[in-house]
Structure 1
Amino acid sequence: MLFESLLRPALYRLSADDPEVVHERTLRALSTLSGVPPVLSALRGCYGVDDPATVFGVRFPNRVGLAAGMDKDGRALRAWPALGFGFVEVGTVTRLPQPGNPKPRLFTLAASDGVINRMGFNNSGAEALAHRLARQGKPSVPLGISIGKSKVVPLEEAVADYRASLRALHPYADYFAINVSSPNTPGLRALQDKTALAELLAELRSTSDSLGSTPLLVKVAPDLTDSALAELLEVCDANGVAGIIATNTTLSRDGLAPADQPLAGEAGGLSGRPVAARALEVVRFVHRHTGGTLPVIGVGGIFSGQDARRMLDAGASLVQVYTGFALKGPGLVREINRTLAGWR
């Protein structure tokens, strides 16, 4: 259909435009569509798939979610369910508004079906997102909110920084994703270390419980060793974490096609097809190490229904897409949903 042909180039195809400009143009169009109910209804009829699942106490109308980063500030929340998504994760949002890293900061790896980004948590801040949600309401599907550390805040003040974002957004989140694994904020990944993570999770768990408990999930890096990941999972278990999101972008440049090697030296996290194998390994490790007791959202390199099926077979309960959706359009969401329908 015409809408899909518009979105199929989506955010990252080779074009004369800066990929970030294309991203912004696409998000602006979806934001406009969010205010046109007849169009949303028509899209829902084309892309919607009902295949409910309940995970960490939340009922999802289907297992396919939009990963954080696509709609950081929640500008198109009514459009995503119409495109077939069963949940939406906004952010990563920080307590303080910030512009992110200098441009250019987004690079297409067309031959590899990948993207390198060093966006740096560019967002309008937690209070601005809270005001938008209060004014416009939540989407019709569960809303996850990814929170991270403000760049200017030193690591020793990170706990208070995360806690302020959680407090501001608690009335609106069906779950929180604690982002301690982005490679694009200096020092952030140090918060995956045992002591720092234990302190952070204990405080966030206590704060959430005092407000009315909301599931907390931790998003992990694909670059952790198995021993470091096992230690992280023990900390998560001790602090009542409801699930793991596996995985964030990688610093590795393995798996790039020869045509994309000139961009391999660009700083930032790599997403898309090159991270698929490692993301699958991490999902499988988490499932095995926890005996299947800790739900996993699998994300990384999902470009087909069968890719998503492999994630679930490895132990994921839900999946998220970003780069695959950007490159292939909403038809991918429909394909995944139809492949996973009735999976269990």
Structure 2
Amino acid sequence: MSNAPALPDKPKRRGLLIGIVAAVVVIAVVVVALVLGNRDDSTSTTAGGESSGETVRIGVADQSLPYWRTYTDLAKSQLGVTVELVNFSDYTLPNPALSQGELDLNQFQHIQYLANYNVEADDDIQPVGATAVYPLPLYSLTADSAEALPADAQVAIPNDAINQARALLVLQQGGLLTLKDGGTAFSTTNDIETSKVQVTAVAADQTASALQSGSVAAAVVNNNYATAAGLPEDDIIVADDPTAAAAAPYVNIFAARAEDKDDETYAKLVDLFHDPAVQEVFLQDNPSAVVQDVPAADLQASLAEVEEDAKAAAGQ
């Protein structure tokens, strides 16, 4: 070998260049892998060190309301949970969807409704947290009071068993009818003894449209349908009292399958509903709601009592 320095010949120069490029590529791949690995690590834990990546599907009836956006954003940032909302316009669908595993939770119903469903469907869905009690209002676009409704005016009420009974009690409160023995949480139109108006039971999601089309003079409209239809509170002529003791069975709930009633993630999602940021927007969306924070065990005990009443009413 010569001691004099010599320039590498052309093939060696090309080989050196290829080697350098290959080394750069390897380094780049390693760097990218490390960056991606670090990014994955940063999204797999929250600030509190909790695991992320879990997705929870919740069935609701008011997905368009802004508080759900606040709620789902906080679920991701605080709990590392992706909440997927599944909207239903028909009250008869979310419980079967939950029971069949299409949902993880639902949040659309009160205890009275769930008790009736469990008894009729021989199911065992359980409440895992409370949200609020909403008044059930009678709206009219033409009368400014129940007394101002003309005789034999058409009034629409929900046709599902539980909302129908509560609606009949609202009409009785407004002096528009009387119910047998004063009425119960399981009254039907067959229990009407005297009536100033003509009561028509329709699907709950059709009550607002019946009112707005002019086909009825007044309608009992559930909160989410009234909000979706843009019915103003000024058009309410009668409403029950959500703070009264009689309203306890009407507290709205998060519900889960019985085997999931002690799930820790679901408990955290219930707690998140009561976060001040969520509540601020929720009460803007639902100014007449009375927020409830009741332990799951108490809700489950209340459900069991109402289920016994439902069985007795059904002659079981």
TM-score for the superposition, normalised by structure 2: 0.29
User: Which structure dedicates a bigger proportion of its chain to helix?
Assistant: 2
Q: Which protein, 1 or 2, shows the higher relative CO under an 8 Å CA cutoff with sep ≥ 6?
A: 2
TM-score for the superposition, normalised by structure 1: 0.27
